[in-house]
A and B are shown apart, each in its own frame.
Chain A
Amino acid sequence: MSETPVDSALAVLAILARETGIAASKINETTELVGDLGIDSPWALQVLVEIEDELDIEINDDEVANLHTVGDILKVVATRFPAPS
C-alpha cells in the first residue's frame, strides 16, 4: 500500500500505463479516460478494481459517476492519502 499522495498518484499512473500500453509520461491530469485512453466501461471497472486492490482503498458509487479524466481519479485517490500537515 502506498503511503504518500505522490506514491499513490504514481501507482495510479503506472496502472493506467500498464493497462493501456501508453507510457505514463504521456498521461496527465487532463487525459480523458474514454477519449484519450479508449477505456470503455467494462475496462474501466477492471482498472478501478486494480487501483482499489493495489492501494487498498474503496472508491464509492457516487465518486465513480464523476470519473471522466485521469485527474478525477487522482483527486479521489488523494482524499484517501491526505498530505501530512
Chain B
Amino acid sequence: MQSNHSESRRYPWFVAPAAFLVRVLLSTLLRTCRVVEISGELHLNALAESGRAAVFTFWHNRSNYCGYFLRKRWIGAGRPLGIITSLSRDGEIAARTARANGFQVVRGSVGGGGLAGLKALHRMLRRENVSVLSVADGSRGPVYQAQAGVIVLAQTARAPLVPIGYVASSCWRLGSWDRMIVPKPFSRIALAIGEPIEYPERLAKEELGRAQAALKDALDELTKQAKSGL
C-alpha cells in the first residue's frame, strides 16, 4: 500500500522530469561500479530463506548504493521492499524515482516528529510482511548518530534489524548535511552486511540508548570492514 499523503499535494512541473533524470543518471552511474566484495552475504541469504520481513539500515550518506544493491538483490528476487520519503519537493523526486525502481513508497518522515511515517513503515513490516529501508541517522541527522526510531520500528514490528556498510574506491561528497557519498563511475565497491539484530519485546529508555550506541558501533565497524575489502 502507498500512503496517499502525496496525492493531495501539488509539486512544480519540473519534479517529474527531474525524477526521470535522477533515475537515469544514478542508475547509469551505479551500473558502471563493480562490487568486489560482499562480506556477511550469508545473513541476507538466511533472511530471504526465512521469509521474514526485515529492516535494512545504513548511514544516510550511504543510502544511494545500499538502496541500489538491495533493489537488485531483494526486489530483483521478487521480494517487496518499502521505503519512506519526505513530503518535500526533494522527497517527491525521491518517491517517484523509488517507485519507478520497484519500491513501495510511503510519504512522511521518520525523524523530527514523524510518527505517521514510523507507523506506516511498521504497518508494512507487521501487517504486510514487507521489508523496509530506514536510515539509521534519520533524514536530518546528526550524521553518524543512530536514532531511536529505526530501533523501535524493528523492535515493535518484531523484525530483525540488518545493518549495512559500504565504501567506494573513488567517490564525490556532496555538500548536504551528511556529505552524501556518490561513487564515481567505474569505482570498486565493497559492502559489509552485519548480523541481524533482534530486540526484546520491550526496551526501557536506558536500554534504547545502549541499543543506539551499539547500532552506531555496528555500522562504523561494517564501514571499516568494507574498507578492508577494497
The answer on A and B forming one complex is yes
Tell me how far the C-beta of A46 lies from the nearest C-beta in chain B, rounded to whole angstroms.
6
Nearest-CB residue, chain B, relative to A48: B119
Instruction: Kindly state whether residue A64 has any CB partner on chain B within 8 Å.
Output: yes
Across the interface, which residues of B come within 8 angstroms of A64, CB to CB? Answer: 115-116, 119-120
**Is the CB–CB distance between A61 and B119 below 8 Å?**
yes
**Is the CB–CB distance between B127 and A45 below 8 Å?**
no
**Is the CB–CB distance between B127 and A41 below 8 Å?**
no
B140-179 residues at the A interface, CB under 8 angstroms = 147-149, 151-153, 155-156
**Is the CB–CB distance between B156 and A45 below 8 Å?**
yes
Q: Which of B3, B113, B152, B153 contacts A61 (CB 8 A)?
A: B3
**Is the CB–CB distance between B118 and A65 below 8 Å?**
no
Nearest-CB residue, chain A, relative to B126: A49
Instruction: Kindly state whether residue A84 has any CB partner on chain B within 8 Å.
Output: no
Q: Which of A42, A46, A49, A61 contacts B116 (CB 8 A)?
A: A61
What size tier do the contact residues of chain B reach? 20 to 34
Across the interface, which residues of B come within 8 angstroms of A67, CB to CB? Answer: 115
Across the interface, which residues of A come within 8 angstroms of B120, CB to CB? Answer: 61, 64
**Is the CB–CB distance between B114 and A41 below 8 Å?**
yes
Tell me how far the C-beta of A17 lies from the nearest C-beta in chain B, rounded to whole angstroms.
16
Instruction: Kindly state whether residue B123 has any CB partner on chain A within 8 Å.
Output: yes
Instruction: Kindly state whether residue A22 has any CB partner on chain B within 8 Å.
Output: no
Instruction: Kindly state whether residue B122 has any CB partner on chain A within 8 Å.
Output: yes
In the complex, A61 Cα to B148 Cα: how many Å? 20
Across the interface, which residues of B come within 8 angstroms of A41, CB to CB? Answer: 110-111, 113-115, 118, 149
Q: Kindly list 12 other residue pairs between chains A and B, CB separation below 8 angstroms, not including A41-B118, A42-B208.
A: A34-B113, A41-B113, A41-B115, A42-B149, A45-B115, A45-B156, A49-B122, A59-B119, A64-B119, A65-B5, A65-B115, A65-B116
Write the residues of chain A forming the contact surface with B, with a CB cutoff of 8 angstroms. Answer: 34, 40-46, 48-49, 58-59, 61, 64-65, 67
Instruction: List 10 tightest A-B contacts by C-beta distance, closest first.
Output: A42-B152, A65-B116, A42-B148, A64-B119, A49-B156, A41-B115, A64-B116, A42-B149, A45-B118, A61-B120
